[in-house]
Structure 1
Amino acid sequence: MKPVVEINRLTKIYNNLRGIHEVNMTVQQGDIYGFFGPNGAGKTTVMKIMTGLIKAQQGEVKLFGHPVSTHYEQAMAKVGVLIETAEAYSYMSGRRNLELAARFYPGIGKQRVDEVLEIVGLTPFQKEKVAGYSLGMKQRLGLAAAMLSKPELLILDEPTNGLDIEGMVHIREIIMHLAREERITFLISSHLIHEMELMCNRMGIIHQGRLVREGLVSEIAQGSATLEEAYLREIKEVRRLAAHA
């Protein structure tokens, strides 16, 4: 079975010399893949290249076997995306925002809008203006919009960022439900390692623009009391090798 996501030697260097360097990643069908690293490590850059928002200087991204750079429509046909913050028209209701988004997809109508509202728990609030939504509700609305086209892969950039504990738990429960019941594959970036530990089966660790470890969460955490401890051990070793290079 082909991987859902294949990233090979992906490189993008900005004028300030920060960016990503020869990133290689693989996401298999059925994964909840955690893309972990501190703020500024390069997670959003990778995701923006994956979804065609910016161009790489080197390397290739394939989604469902299709190169994003040359076969964008085929690559993105089964992909839902929520990058950075969830955007919506604040003066419209949550439902109206979804109805407008649904126009971009052929064959997506009222029934699917009803379905995604129910999945993310916004049915009781669908007629309220987004201006009155909490941050967690706005994130759930963004997730609902990303799900409209019935994607097989959802790419979510920091979906729990800025949320309180209840909001984080709600988003996590939705993701795990969709992975289990809808068979959706997830690529989720975060700088919150506890969230990765609770939610993901596989992960990649990015540090200063380089992917330094990829594998099963259980393998990465092996020999450590927590995933956080394993991460700190991994970064310590990366720094030791860099110092002696």
Structure 2
Amino acid sequence: MDRIVEIERLTKTFSNKRGIHDISLNVQRGDVYGFFGPNGAGKTTVMKMMTGLSRADQGKVRLFGHDVATHYEQAMAKVGVLIETAEAYEYMSGRKNLELAASLYPELARRRVDEVLELVGLSSVQHEKVGHYSLGMKQRLGLASAILSKPELLILDEPTNGLDIEGMVQIREIIMRLAREEKITFFISSHLIYEMELMCNRIGILSDGKILTEGILSEQLKGRFATLEEFFLHEVNKERGTVSHA
């Protein structure tokens, strides 16, 4: 498998001394890679540097072999992004929002808007104003916008944050369908460990700005632990020197 994402020794320190420290990880083509950690662990900081929204103090990010800092357009050419909250014009319909976004890609076929509406389950409400959409519907519209250009890599920051159980299930099923049908590689951050366990084949665990471990979810990480939650708590306690050896 070839590497889609390569992060090497990424470091950034803010004025409050918090930040990320010496982050290294790789994402292979076809992965649904879960970037897991509690709120404040540094997940969004890493993702902003992956997408050129913030610069690192040290280290490199390469997407499809191109350095984001020095060859931004080439690095981002096949990337879709949804970081923090999905933005849309609320006075316009969902369809009009997507048609506006699609106008940035003149090579796209006209039917692509219909395709993504169907993929995210918004065809029946495509003519309603976004201001009338639920939070889950807005998040699905954000996903639709992110996949319009047929990206090969989709970077999603907390895509189920703030959603109710039904909304979380819908977003999870969409992600898994896109990975299967559209052959998209995913890099997904979350603090919801159960969601990561259901969606992802590989995972990196972040705590206090540092990678504790990463690997194939079923084989390398959980091991003798019944759940990912047990494994995570073990790794955090090991890092803090509080693991019981009884």
> If the length of structure 1 is used for normalisation, what is the TM-score?
0.97
Question: Quick one: distance in 1 between partners of 2:226 and 2:147?
Answer: 36
What residue is the counterpart of 1:145 in the other structure?
A: 145
- Give the C-alpha shift of residue 182 in structure 1: 1.4
Question: Quick one: distance in 1 between partners of 2:179 and 2:235?
Answer: 28
Give SS of 1:90's match.
coil
Answer yes or no: is the 8 Å Cα contact 1:102–1:109 preserved in 2. no
Question: Quick one: distance in 2 between partners of 1:228 and 1:138?
Answer: 29
1:143-183 Cα shifts (integer Å, max 9, x gaps): 00000000000000000001111111111111111111111
Question: Quick one: distance in 2 between partners of 1:181 and 1:131?
Answer: 30
Answer yes or no: is the 8 Å Cα contact 1:157–1:188 preserved in 2. yes
Give SS of 1:4's match.
strand
1:44-77 Cα shifts (integer Å, max 9, x gaps): 0000000000111110000000000011000000
Question: Quick one: distance in 1 between partners of 2:121 and 2:110?
Answer: 16
What residue is the counterpart of 1:175 in the other structure?
A: 175
Answer yes or no: is the 8 Å Cα contact 1:51–1:68 preserved in 2. yes
| Runs ≥4 residues deviating over 4 A | none
Amino acid of the residue matched to residue 192 of structure 1? L
Amino acid of the residue matched to residue 120 of structure 1? V
Question: Quick one: distance in 1 between partners of 2:13 and 2:109?
Answer: 41
Amino acid of the residue matched to residue 7 of structure 2? I
1:63 aligns with 2:74: no
What residue is the counterpart of 2:239 in the other structure?
A: 238
What residue is the counterpart of 1:197 in the other structure?
A: 197
Question: Quick one: distance in 2 between partners of 1:110 and 1:186?
Answer: 25
What residue is the counterpart of 1:27 in the other structure?
A: 27
What residue is the counterpart of 2:227 in the other structure?
A: 226
Amino acid of the residue matched to residue 94 of structure 1? G
Question: Quick one: distance in 2 between partners of 1:13 and 1:103?
Answer: 38
5+ unaligned residues in a row in structure 1: which ranges?
Answer: none
What residue is the counterpart of 2:36 in the other structure?
A: 36
Cα RMSD (Å) of the superposition? 0.9
The correspondence of residues 35-184 of structure 1 with structure 2, limited to 5 A, is 35-184=35-184
1:175-234 Cα shifts (integer Å, max 9, x gaps): 111111111100000000000100100000000101110001112111111110010001
Amino acid of the residue matched to residue 11 of structure 1? T
Question: Quick one: distance in 1 between partners of 2:106 and 2:91?
Answer: 26
Answer yes or no: is the 8 Å Cα contact 1:2–1:65 preserved in 2. no
Question: Quick one: distance in 2 between partners of 1:74 and 1:223?
Answer: 42
5+ unaligned residues in a row in structure 2: which ranges?
Answer: none
Percentage identity across aligned positions? 71
Question: Quick one: distance in 1 between partners of 2:202 and 2:120?
Answer: 24
Give SS of 2:204's match.
strand
Equivalenced residue count is 241
Of 174-183 and 33-42, more deviation after overlay is shown by: 174-183
